[in-house]
Structure formats: C-alpha cells, structure tokens
Amino acid sequence: MAGLLKRAGLSLTTRILVVNVIVLGLIAFSVLYLDSYRKQLLAERFQRARSEAEITVDALAGAAPAQRRTVLAMIGARQHLRLRLFDRHGALIADSFTLAPPSFTLADPARQPWSQKAARVLDASMDMLLGAPDVPDYHEPPSGAPTPAQNWPEVLAAARTGHAQVMERYAPDRTPVITAAAPLGTAGQTLLTLRNAPEVTQSVRDARQTLAIVVAVALLITVFLSLFLARTIVQPLRILVRAAVRVRLGRDRAVVVPRLPERGDEIGLLARALSDMTTALRQRMDAVESFAADVAHEIKNPLASLRSALESLDKVEDTDLRAQLHAIAAHDIQRMDRLITEISDASRIDAELSRTTLVPVNLLSLAQALVGSREARGANGSALVDVTQRGSGAPVVAGDAARLERVLVNLIDNAVSFSPPGGRIEVLVENASDGVTVEVCDEGPGIDPASRERVFERFHSLRPASEEFGQHSGLGLAIARTIVVAHDGSLTAQNPAPGRGGARLVLRLPPFHAGEHEA
C-alpha cells in the first residue's frame, strides 16, 4: 500500500490523511457494525419471546384448568423459561420455578473472573459511546406481594391492550433478560415468560474480539505506513539540509543540491526549488565577484592616469604643459564620476525594479518624445533619428516609464556613437498580438556575429576610433538589457535588415493586459 501511495504521486498531506483515516474508518465501522449486530440479535430474541408467549398461551388455553400447572412446568423445563401466570387482579396463580426445579440460574458477578468484569465495563462503555437507550436492571420482586403483577409493566400492558408485550432488562452480569407477556383468552389471566439470553452478549463480545483483532492489525499497518512516510519525509529533508549547509559554508563550489526528480510531492518541489535557488545564488555571486573585479579594473585606469598627472604637476614649469596636465586630471575625474554613476545605476536597477509598480507605457509616444527632446538639446549630433511605426494599434506595455526611457536612451546613444556624420538612425516600433517590438538600426560598422552577445556584457566596449577615450563606461547596453529582462522582455543584437548595413538592436516586451498588473 505504501508503494501504491508513492507511485500515485499523491501529496504528503493526502498520504498522511489516508494512512490515519484507515484505522479511524475501521474503528468507526466496527462500532457501527457491532451496534447493528447487537440490535439484530435482540430483535430476533424479542420476536422469539413473543412467539413463545403466544404459543404457550395457546397451549394453556387448550388444556383443562387442572392441567395448566403441569403444562407450565413442562414447557418451562423444556424451553429453559420461567413462566408465571397471573389472574385478572394481578395475583400470581402459578410459577414454573416453584412447580419444578429451575431450568436456569442467573450468573453471580461476584463469582465471575476478572475478564468478565472487564467485558461488562467495555459493554457499558460501548453503550455510552453509541448513545444506546437505558435498559433497567432485573430485580426479582419480593415474595408475598399482594399484587405481584404491579412489578411487571409488560403484564399490565398486555392485560390492558390484549396484545403480547416484550421488554428487556439487564441481569446482574449484564446479560439480557427478555420477558414477554400475553393475555390468556377470556379468563382474564396473563402469562409472563422470562428468558436469560447470555448467548446474545457472548455473540457480540465474540464479534467485538474479532473486529478488535482486525483493528489491531490495521493499527500495526498504520504504524508501519507512518514510519514509512516519516522515512520518506525525513531522509530526503536531511539530504537537503546537508547540501544546504555545505552551500552556506561555501566550502565546495561544486555542491549539487539533489533535485529528486522521481518525487512529485511537496518534497520534490522543495528539492527542485532549493536547487534552482542555489544555482541562481551562485550565478548572482559569480556575477557580483566578476562585477567587483571589473569595477576595480575600470577605476584603476583613470586613477593611475590622475595620479600620474598630479605627480607631474609639481615637476613641470611649462605653462602649456601644466594646462594639459590639468585637463588630463579634469578628464579623468569626469570619467571616474561617469563610471561611478553608471556603476551605481547598474547596482540599483534590480532592487528598484523589484519594488516598482508597473503601469501602461506607450513605447511609440515615449520614443517620439525622447527623440524630440534629444534633437532640441543637440544630443543626436549630426545623426538623423527617425521614429516610425509598423502596423496599427497602440504599442502599450506594462513597465516603468523612466527605466524604459533609459533603455531607449542607451540604445540611441549607442547608435549615435557608431553612426557616420549625417548618418540615419531608424527607431521602428511594431505592435503585435504577442508583444511590442522596438528596433534601433544605424548605418555604422555593425556588430560582428561573434560579438553580438558580448556587447551586452558589463564594461565591454568596442568604441569607434574617432571617439574620444573615456566617453563611455561600457555599461550602457548591459544596463539596458538588465532593465528589459526585469520587464520580462529581451534585448538582442540581430542581423541588419536586407539591403542595409550597420547594427540592429531589437527590444521585445510583452503586451499590457488590463487588470493583470493591478494591485
């Protein structure tokens, strides 16, 4: 059964519930079955008692009055009954136990073994658990009472209604005492039969014992399954804990967090989530280490140049040369300031975008406004920047307008820096059902296919020979891609359009859907 639960791919919650419900279900079934079985036995005994009373009444009615005592004694002895005959006034006429030796005796609880006492306690507990109706105790009425029939409600009811009446009582040993009263013809007499039925109690106890064995076996199976579940839960968790500790200590970079692909439950989901998280953390750590090394390298160059210029100032007397050294120092300071600003922006992008609320942004309007502002400031130089739209519909995406503007700024800056004098830069915006595409194409030397991914690496810069050194940090395209990826988009360098040269950078973002990004 444990294998079936595992192969079924059930969740841990379902497995635990199934295992624990088995025993509870068996116990509930056992209790209900025993109650139903007991009621069925008693119903049979009640019917039997009624039939015996009616048959005995017929036998007495067919006998002569002088023979009735003999008939009573004979039937009582043969059927193991105690028979009493009452007249119309409730006085006792005859008792089979006084006419002949008693055919049975009620057990004395004081002389029974402890097992019978325990069984009686268990019987009473089961009756209380099932809410069984109270059953009166059997007490032999005192001898010499003027109207003994008053001690037997069923006798009075039978005389009053003219129909047989059956009643149950508990003997001192808690076995059923079943009495049945039936009227005897027109003489106004009433017959009372009494039978002790210990076999009913014994049958119920035997059935309960059998079911107890079944429940015990089910309990053992449940314990086994629970231990199995505990092992299937604890053992993989310990493996994951050990792997997580090794990853935390950082003693082994090659530590592999097991993914447990064969498990489809919560443990498997946890293992794969931890494995993916560990991989992402390692990639982030490697990126941080690489970024730190690149930052140190990039800052070291202008610092060395600045230190050299400052050390030479005290030794140079020539006014023109001193002015050149001052210019070099000022340029290095500007370069460092630009580099530090770019590095700061690159470091903050992920954290800031994770807290940003995305709003609908029209990329066509954003690009047109940006290009117009750049032309007014002369930021495009001699290059001509055109913004066109392909297709119809508003190219709206969900994003941070300021960050998306930064992406377009970096793409256009990159295109302007590589464009020849008077070159044309085309910003093509296209709206489609699967998203919005923005292409920035220039007429520069283009990007070698082998370098199309490297241009997005931090501090990777292949500047044109005519551009003054230090004007760019090499972070522009890297920052642009980081922003785009944070918007669930992509930024790639692709082949130029047929019949054209230069670089072609393609930005793709998913479309905006109303209500998807609302809080």
List, for residues 442-480, the tens digit of each pLDDT value.
Answer: 988 888 888 888 888 766 665 554 444 344 556 778 888
Name the amino acid, one letter, at 264. G
The whole-angstrom separation of Cα 403 and Cα 370 is 13
List, for residues 64-85, the tens digit of each pLDDT value.
Answer: 888 989 999 999 999 999 999 9
List, for residues 20-41, the tens digit of each pLDDT value.
Answer: 676 667 677 776 677 787 788 8
The whole-angstrom separation of Cα 353 and Cα 405 is 14
Average pLDDT over residues 192-201: 91
Highest mean pLDDT among 95-99, 218-222, 463-467: 95-99
Query: What is the reported pLDDT for 361?
Result: 92
Average pLDDT over residues 202-218: 78
Instruction: Give the number of other Cβ atoms within 10 Å of residue 56's Cβ.
Output: 23
Residue 429 clears pLDDT 50, i.e. is over it: yes
Q: What is the DSSP letter of 173?
A: T
- The values of phi and psi at residue 431, to 5°, are -105, 130
Higher pLDDT, 178 or 324: 178
Query: What is the reported pLDDT for 469?
Result: 38
> Domains of the chain by range and CATH?
2-208 (3.30.450.20), 256-353 (1.10.287.130), 356-519 (3.30.565.10)
CB 474 within 8 A of CB 339: no
Query: What is the reported pLDDT for 468?
Result: 46
Query: What is the reported pLDDT for 227?
Result: 75
Tokens of 182: 């039936």
Residue 353 clears pLDDT 70, i.e. is over it: no
CB 137 within 8 A of CB 170: yes
Average pLDDT over residues 33-61: 87
Residue 166 clears pLDDT 90, i.e. is over it: yes
The whole-angstrom separation of Cα 33 and Cα 31 is 5
List, for residues 354-378, the tens digit of each pLDDT value.
Answer: 677 788 999 999 999 999 998 888 8
Instruction: Give the number of other Cβ atoms within 10 Å of residue 342's Cβ.
Output: 20
- The values of phi and psi at residue 387, to 5°, are -110, 120
Tokens of 463: 């500047």
Highest mean pLDDT among 137-151, 155-169, 408-422: 155-169
List, for residues 106-116, the tens digit of each pLDDT value.
Answer: 999 988 888 88
CB 339 within 8 A of CB 299: yes
Question: Do strands 384-390 and 424-432 pair parallel, antiparallel, or not at all (unpaired)?
Answer: parallel
3-class secondary structure, 177: strand
Query: What is the reported pLDDT for 238?
Result: 82
Average pLDDT over residues 479-501: 85
Average pLDDT over residues 98-120: 89
Average pLDDT over residues 189-217: 84
CB 469 within 8 A of CB 478: no
Residue 348 clears pLDDT 70, i.e. is over it: no
Query: What is the reported pLDDT for 450?
Result: 83
